[in-house]
Amino acid sequence: MYSAKVHFWLAGMTAEQIEILKNIVPLERFSHCFYQLQSLDELEKDFVPGIIGVVIADESAGFSPEALRSAAKDEKVVFCTAQAEAMSEEALSGIDFLWSKPLTTSLLKFYFGELLKYLKLEKDLWLTGAYLDNTIDPVPDLIWYKDIKGAHLKVNDAFCEVVGKTKDDIAGRGHCYIWGLTPEEYAKGEYVCMETENEVIKKGTTCLFEEQVKAPEGMRILMTYKTPIRDVDGTIIGTVGMARNVTKERQYQKKILEMAQMDVLTGLANRRYLESYIEEKLQKGDVRQQTFIYFDLDHFKQVNDDCGHAVGDRVLLYVASSMKVDFPDAFLVRLGGDEFLAIFLTEVSLEEIKERVDEFIHDIKEHFLTKSDMTWLSVSAGIAVGDGKTAMDDLLHQSDMALYAAKNAGRSCYRVYDVSMENEHIFITR
């Protein structure tokens, strides 16, 4: 993949030693050039980007380790000495490799071979890092690596963009700092992902989660894959995670679901959602009583005929908003046209229901009495009560029968279903 050129600057080496080094075959992908170093000023001309520079200096050249380090800057420094035990800690800190003299041919080949292995290992490590960076940085999903304590060791560009911090700023930091959590939020474990991290470590396998995190621009919903990182002995030493920001997708899904479940005009549930809602509640087995209140506007067709459908829509909106105010604890449905339904799945006394329905009917009537062109508009209602096992279709039928009874009784009133209604023949225009 790569091609590495190494410039060796040799100071104080004998001709025989130089020849030995030149005859050592470079490792794969490497090439060598050798130069004799007379002055440390020469190093500034050689050390250029893309070329590995190595200074091998014998103590006989008269250059101190400190001076070599200063001139070589970040390049490798090898110091050959017969007095290694006498070197100070400061002098030792300035060199990368120490070759002990006397340098026999075998020892010189060994030292140089180890140096070449080190240079190749360092270059291979760089290549592995380049592979990793060029793999994860173009990915639009968030990618991160953590140690066992939760400190972030490495992240990709997408991660930095979301949290608004640089890679250097993120390195070694925990979730609280990176995501900008308050101490209170962190103490409560809110938006910290600690539970999922612990679950991955406990299970020792890849896990999929949907998590909420608090980002600088607000809450984010992330679909995350997390997997453990293991040491050579199998011990888990950290985790790697990848997250896709699905905030917009979830918002779209929620909007689509609302559109599928709700009546566009009034914002109430539609009939399709009614069926799934009741079925879900009944399947859970926690419904002990069901109360269906079937509402229908009286003479609504005349509104559309005389005033137009736009006015008719405003009437329907008013009725729906009034239902939300008067029956906030009920599941409200627009069945279609001017037909509405209020459902109670909790135990509510019939007397309370009758009182609330009567008040609602009265309020609707009073409102439209103030409208000179719709004084005749009112609402009628039918009430049916069943237990937790009564089918929805049965309650719809019963409340509908009670509604027809209210219409037959003169409208702008309610009736409670009675089995005797099944035998009555009611023919009336709604």
Give the strands of the sheet with 289-298, arranged side by side.
331-336, 339-344, 289-298, 378-387, 414-416
In this predicted structure, what is the pLDDT of residue 429? 46
Cβ neighbours around 252 below 10 Å, total = 11
In this predicted structure, what is the pLDDT of residue 430? 47
Top-level class of domain 262-423:
alpha beta
For residue 418, give the nearest of 426, 430, 428 by alpha carbon. Answer: 426
Per-residue tokens: 393: 């279709």
| Dist CA 407 CA 297 (whole Å) | 10
In this predicted structure, what is the pLDDT of residue 425? 53
The domain defined by 4-135 carries CATH number 3.20.190.10: no
Q: At 150, give phi and psi (nearest 5°).
A: 95, 5
Q: Scan for tokens 């200096």, then name that residue.
A: 57
Q: How are the residues of the chain apportioned to helix, strand and coil, as percentages rounded to the nearest 5?
A: 45, 25, 30
- DSSP string computed for 173-228: --HHHHHT--HHHHHHTTT--HHHHHHHHHHTS-EEEEEEEEETTEEEEEEEEEEE
Q: Positive or negative, the Cα torsion across 148, 149, 154, 159?
A: positive
Per-residue tokens: 386: 């069943």
Sequence-distant (6+) residues with CB within 8 A of 36 are 9, 10, 11, 13, 18
| Dist CA 136 CA 153 (whole Å) | 14
| 222 in Cβ contact with 193 (< 8 Å) | no
| Dist CA 240 CA 110 (whole Å) | 39
Q: Positive or negative, the Cα torsion across 312, 412, 408, 268?
A: positive
Q: Positive or negative, the Cα torsion across 162, 168, 171, 174?
A: negative
CATH number given to 142-250: 3.30.450.20
Q: Hey, where are the domains in the chain?
A: 4-135, 142-250, 262-423
Expressed in angstroms, the distance from the first to the final Cα of the chain is 83
- Total residues belonging to the chain: 430
In this predicted structure, what is the pLDDT of residue 181? 73
430 residues of the chain, pLDDT tens digit each? 789 999 999 999 999 999 999 999 999 999 999 999 999 988 876 667 789 999 999 999 999 999 999 999 889 999 999 999 999 999 999 899 999 999 999 999 999 999 999 999 999 999 999 999 999 999 999 999 999 988 999 999 999 998 889 999 999 998 778 877 776 666 655 545 678 888 999 999 999 998 887 666 677 788 899 999 999 999 999 999 999 888 888 878 778 877 788 998 999 999 889 988 888 888 887 788 999 999 999 999 888 878 888 999 999 999 999 999 999 999 999 999 999 999 999 999 999 999 999 999 999 999 999 887 888 899 999 999 998 888 899 999 999 999 999 999 999 999 999 998 887 655 444 4
| Dist CA 417 CA 424 (whole Å) | 12
Per-residue tokens: 425: 């023949």
Categorise residue 50: left if φ over 0, alpha if ψ from -120 to 50, beta otherwise: left
In this predicted structure, what is the pLDDT of residue 174? 85
